[in-house]
Amino acid sequence: MNHPRAFPEALKRPVPEALLTALRTRFGERFSTAHAVREHHGRDESPFPVTPPDAVVFAHATEDVAETVALCRAHGVPVIPYGAGSSLEGHLLAVQGGVSIDVSQMKRVLAVNAEDLTVTVQAGVTRKQLNDELKSTGLFFPIDPGADASLGGMAATRASGTNAVRYGTMKENVLGLTVVTAEGKVVRTARRAKKSSAGYDLTRLYVGSEGTLGVITEVTVRLYPLPEAISAAVVSFPSLAQAIDAVIQIIQLGVPVARCEYVCEHSIRAINAYSHTTLREAPTLFFEFHGSESSVKEQAEIAQQITREHGARDFDWATHPEDRTRLWTARHNAYFASLQVRPGSRAVSTDTCVPISRLSDSITGARRILDSAKFPTMIVGHVGDGNFHAVLVVDPNDEQEMAEAERLNDAIVRLALSMDGTCTEEEAGDDALDLMRRIKRALDPDDIMNPGKIFRM
């Protein structure tokens, strides 16, 4: 998404007392205009200033969402969906004011279809909760963006994660959605069957739409059998380039790695301090292999051989589940660890993805760009997919620093785009943006659905 600060012209819209009264009457204690509640719903894990909504509705069911949207629409008031609040990019900030619809209490797993490898959940179910509830089935939901995000939020932001190399992103794993439209109507985008051939792919249109076309209230996703065998390994390298070249070769050989993460030496140092680990402070790859016993062994052997050829210094195995959990928890906490290197800081992060053949150039280029920064910077990434994050640890109250971060960010994005890459910043051409705007206008003519996100209308 664009940064909210890119919308200085955005004006808070008036929220009539009549709407607040109607919502209070309808939802009672599940409606709030309390300062603390609004503040809580006006910030996420992004570095942007708190931008609270005018009111919050705690929804328990799709119908609650539909009624709230219908009421807001009648008054021309924006609605902003709120899930786990774990966005790193300001998706839930109420940049034009309005009503935040908190779905975090919509936590029911509605239908596990173990035979079909599908599950339907309410939008507030988080990925950890889901996997806990699936434990007895021998199945799991693999998408793992780090945070314990809600499935509604993951769908709305088209979340990816450490497992994407093998299992894909939300784009590939959402089979259907229940969505409340800007008119307050309830639409089911698809049935549970794997192939749908009737009409436009509404599911994929809503996946990644960031609440701008409707509010996602239920999500059906694909599940996978828990692998028979799993092993993980940490490998450190003398240089960034060697690590990335090893990744490229492993991916190009078609090794079906389940996870392949790059963590730079600065990030390892932060992780060691935060998670009390003793990882070698060097450019590092984290691997995980899933499959049958023999397939995991085969994958690991190939990866070991290739990393050695690229100068790897260690190849530490984590075969016990507890060791693996510790390892991935440490990796997941990299973001929070980065904040700890500088008290009071916030992290600005860039999310870019390039074709795997350009990964080495793109990531070493990003490193060079970051080297000029006066504040701590790190690079971590789901490199198996060509996807990496530059993390800039800034003082949010220092305007110069924020401007500098934006400048570096832009340079990294431009570099990625020049390599046929993509990023969360604007990538589409003007004509493509025009098509998107026309879709937005067609489905949300009053611009009440999370306005100010994705693009300026």
Kindly give, in sequence order, each residue whose CB lies less than 8 Å from that of residue 397, ignoring residues fewer than 6 positions away: none
Q: Rounded to an integer, what distance in angstroms lies between the CA atom of residue 207 and that of residue 205? A: 6
Angstrom distances, CA of residue 252 to CA of 80, 247, 303, 399: 41, 8, 12, 43
Give min distance, CB of 229 to a copy of itself, in A.
12
- Nearest Cα neighbor of 153 from 103, 200, 79 is 103
302 or 373, CB closer to a copy of itself? 302
344 interacts with a copy of itself by CB under 8 A: no
224 interacts with a copy of itself by CB under 8 A: yes
Give min distance, CB of 67 to a copy of itself, in A.
16
102 or 425, CB closer to a copy of itself? 425
55 or 88, CB closer to a copy of itself? 88
Q: Which of 86, 163, 209, 338 binds a copy of itself (CB under 8 A)?
A: 209
202 or 327, CB closer to a copy of itself? 202
Kindly give, in sequence order, each residue whose CB lies less than 8 Å from that of residue 94, ignoring residues fewer than 6 positions away: 41, 42, 51, 52, 53, 54, 78, 80, 100
* Candidate ranges 93-101, 287-295, 311-319, 398-406; the one touching a copy of itself (CB under 8 A): 287-295
442 interacts with a copy of itself by CB under 8 A: yes
Give min distance, CB of 434 to a copy of itself, in A.
8
Count the Cβ atoms, other than its own, within 10 Å of residue 288: 25
Q: Rounded to an integer, what distance in angstroms lies between the CA atom of residue 108 and that of residue 151? A: 11
Q: Which of 55, 207, 232, 366 binds a copy of itself (CB under 8 A)?
A: 207
* Candidate ranges 247-255, 261-269, 312-320, 325-333; the one touching a copy of itself (CB under 8 A): 247-255
Give min distance, CB of 86 to a copy of itself, in A.
16
417 interacts with a copy of itself by CB under 8 A: yes
Per CB under 8 A, contacts with a copy of itself among 252-281 are 252-254
The helix (run of H) or strand (run of E) holding residue 375 is none
Give min distance, CB of 132 to a copy of itself, in A.
21
- Nearest Cα neighbor of 187 from 200, 203, 175 is 203
169 interacts with a copy of itself by CB under 8 A: yes
* Candidate ranges 121-129, 239-247, 273-281, 348-356; the one touching a copy of itself (CB under 8 A): 348-356
418 interacts with a copy of itself by CB under 8 A: no
**String of b and e for 209-230 (b: at least 16 CB within 10 Å)?**
bbbbbbbbbbbbbbbbeebebb
Angstrom distances, CA of residue 25 to CA of 63, 67, 68, 455: 16, 12, 12, 34
Q: Which of 143, 356, 412, 448 binds a copy of itself (CB under 8 A)?
A: 356
β-bridge pairing 259-263 and 284-291: antiparallel
Q: Rounded to an integer, what distance in angstroms lies between the CA atom of residue 404 and that of residue 189? A: 42
Per CB under 8 A, contacts with a copy of itself among 357-386 are 357-358, 385-386
129 or 295, CB closer to a copy of itself? 295
The number of helices, as runs of H, and strands, as runs of E, in the chain is: 16, 19
Q: Which of 37, 354, 366, 379 binds a copy of itself (CB under 8 A)?
A: 354
The helix (run of H) or strand (run of E) holding residue 351 is strand 346-353
414 interacts with a copy of itself by CB under 8 A: no
129 or 196, CB closer to a copy of itself? 196
The answer to whether 123 and 106 are in contact (CB under 8 A) is yes
182 or 270, CB closer to a copy of itself? 182
Total binding residues for a copy of itself by CB under 8 A? 83
Give min distance, CB of 225 to a copy of itself, in A.
4
Q: Give the position of tokens 């190849």.
A: 315
Q: Rounded to an integer, what distance in angstroms lies between the CA atom of residue 417 and that of residue 427? A: 7
Q: Give the position of tokens 């799709």.
A: 62
191 interacts with a copy of itself by CB under 8 A: yes
Q: Which of 113, 131, 239, 272 binds a copy of itself (CB under 8 A)?
A: 113
SS3 call for 147: coil
171 interacts with a copy of itself by CB under 8 A: yes
90: left (phi over 0), alpha (psi -120 to 50) or beta: left
Give min distance, CB of 439 to a copy of itself, in A.
6
34 or 432, CB closer to a copy of itself? 432
376 or 381, CB closer to a copy of itself? 381
Pure H helices in 75-194: 127-134, 151-156, 164-167, 170-173
52 interacts with a copy of itself by CB under 8 A: no
